[in-house]
């Protein structure tokens, strides 16, 4: 888990709310501080964090790890921000990208070629948590002269993404 500014702010908010609540029960400052300090992580991870996940697409982030990327494709969205920000793939060859990310999930369609474009690879990132999320995130890796020139993400409706993946599997 990456400690972000948002995480720290949310923890401080939860701590203050817990402290205010405990302060109504007992007026001893040192005791309310200790109880609040102990209760804050539990309240954050068992009450506040699940509610945030239900009503928004906020999720915790992880540092990119090749083994986790390949073993748990449904949780790739947690590592994609770090992968893009670190520019780890820029300048890598296709063979090096396969070593880092594994085989691509599917190739993008190129209207000019009227076929799949071997220079635009797609990796499914999974579905970010959230009650109202209807899109699947995709990592787009673009090559030029056999080197990665850009890495970006885009969203696709879940049903459309499933159809595209099945069509790609059928063509192979």
Q: Hey, where are the domains in the chain?
A: 5-55, 66-171
Distance CA 132, CA 147 (A): 37
What's the confidence (pLDDT) of residue 100? Answer: 93
Indicate yes or no: pTM above 0.85: no
Lowest mean pLDDT among 7-16, 47-56, 101-110: 47-56
Host H or E run for residue 152: strand 147-157
Query: DSSP letters along 104-135, please?
Result: -SEEEEETTTTEEEEEEEEEEEE----TT--E
What's the confidence (pLDDT) of residue 145? Answer: 95
Q: Mean per-residue pLDDT for 1-25?
A: 88
What's the confidence (pLDDT) of residue 152? Answer: 94
Residue 38 phi, psi dihedral angles, 5° rounding:
-75, -40
Query: DSSP letters along 80-103, please?
Result: HHHHHHTT-STT-BHHHHHHHH-S
Both tokens of 69, joined, read 């990327």
Mean pLDDT across the chain, nearest whole number? Answer: 85
Kindly tell me the burial class for residue 121, based on how many C-beta atoms sit within 10 Å of its own C-beta (0-12, 13-18, 19 or more).
buried
Q: Mean per-residue pLDDT for 25-43?
A: 90
Q: Mean per-residue pLDDT for 161-165?
A: 64
Residue 99 phi, psi dihedral angles, 5° rounding:
-65, -35
Condensed to tens digits (0 to 9), the pLDDT of residues 52-106 reads: 777 766 667 788 989 999 998 888 888 998 999 999 999 999 999 999 999 988 8
7-56-88 Cα angle (round to 5):
60
Condensed to tens digits (0 to 9), the pLDDT of residues 110-136 reads: 777 788 888 999 998 888 776 777 888
Q: Is residue 169 predicted with pLDDT exceeding 70?
A: no
């Amino acid at each position: 888990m990456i400690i972000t500014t948002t995480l720290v702010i949310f923890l401080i908010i939860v701590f203050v709310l817990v402290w205010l609540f405990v302060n109504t029960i007992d007026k001893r400052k040192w005791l309310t501080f200790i109880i609040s300090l102990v209760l804050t992580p539990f309240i954050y991870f068992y009450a506040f964090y699940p509610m945030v996940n239900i009503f928004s697409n906020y999720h915790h982030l992880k540092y990119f790890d090749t083994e986790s990327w390949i073993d748990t494709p449904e949780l790739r969205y947690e590592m994609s921000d770090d992968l893009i920000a670190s520019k780890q793939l820029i300048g890598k060859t296709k063979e090096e990208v396969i070593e880092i990310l594994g085989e691509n999930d599917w190739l993008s369609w190129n209207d000019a070629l009227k076929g799949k474009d071997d220079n635009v690879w797609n990796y499914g990132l999974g579905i970010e948590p959230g009650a109202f999320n209807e899109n699947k995130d995709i990592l787009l890796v673009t090559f030029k002269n056999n080197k990665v020139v850009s890495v970006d993400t885009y969203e696709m409706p879940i049903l459309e993404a499933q159809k595209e993946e099945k069509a790609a599997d059928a063509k192979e």
